[in-house]
Amino acid sequence: MSRAQAHTLKPVITATQARPWRLRDAVVCIDPGHGGLDPGAIGHHGTYEKNVVLDIAHRLRRLVEAETGMQPIMTRSGDEYVTLEKRVFYAQKNRADLFVAIHADASPYSEPHGSSVYVFTRHGASSESAHVLAESQNRLDRTVGLGGQGHSLLSETLFDLESHAVLAESLIFGKHVMDNITHVDKYRYSGVQRAAFVVLAAPSFPSTLVETAFISNPEQERMLRSPAFRQRMAESLLAGIKGYFREHAPPGTLLAARSDALQSMHTHT
């Protein structure tokens, strides 16, 4: 080919380049609680909450990765402590569409058992136990020496006008998660619980915190040590995420385009 001929060739335009815009994946932020200096609750047989929830989080990450149209991110991928605000800011920076914090519950007594799901509220907690749990979680940064005297998220971002809609969406998301984890473990309450968790305080995306089981209950600690239970819990969390996205796919995502296409098909049949 001569140099003159080469100059006359038109550049090849791929299908991707030809599109004026590109559908994005829905971003799911997975937040394994505790880590590093903060072990979380410790079971009677020496099981650390931070290790259990990290394993469940990685299992959920792999499941989300296998889903077309979804992209997982994690606030921590190893044994390190990340402050509560940094977890939220990381999710915001990466434009998360959903946020799920994974924990294991604990009690001074060995009898309590079951799973539970929490969302943020600016007002009173749904129960005294929900209030106590949120207070203990919110103190973690100060406990490990990485936090100040207060959380700016609670004082600055919570009164964003967007948060009204996001709080309602969080309840819907939490209900989807609750409905699915009941197939894995007995649910402790009659519905989604509400309290002022700092880690759920982002005004830009629905968030929920899941207490998978009571690590302080010897029988439930054995469950939490089981790879099979952890996998089932991760699968139930994925089912809750997928259930929410089926009804509330984020705009501009492949999931939303699929949802619109299905609705169009049903309309014309």
- pLDDT for 229-241, tens place per residue? 999 999 999 999 9
- pLDDT for 40-99, tens place per residue? 999 999 999 999 999 999 999 999 999 999 999 999 999 999 999 899 999 999 999 999
CATH superfamily of 23-250: Zn-dependent exopeptidases (3.40.630.40)
DSSP assignment letter at 42: B
Q: What is the chain's mean pLDDT, rounded?
A: 84
Structure tokens at 181: 């984890």
- pLDDT for 107-149, tens place per residue? 999 999 999 999 988 776 656 777 667 777 767 665 544 454 4
Q: Comparing 14 with 254, which gets the higher pLDDT?
A: 254
Q: Which residues contact 230 (CB under 8 A, 6 or more apart)?
A: 52, 55, 56, 59, 224
Q: Is 112 in contact with 221 (CB distance < 8 Å)?
A: no
Share of the chain above pLDDT 70, in %: 77
Can you tell me the distance from the alpha carbon of 103 to that of 87, in angstroms, rounded to the nearest whole number? 14
The model's pTM: 0.84
Domain definitions of the chain by residue range:
23-250
- pLDDT for 190-246, tens place per residue? 899 988 888 888 878 999 999 999 999 999 999 999 999 999 999 999 999 999 999
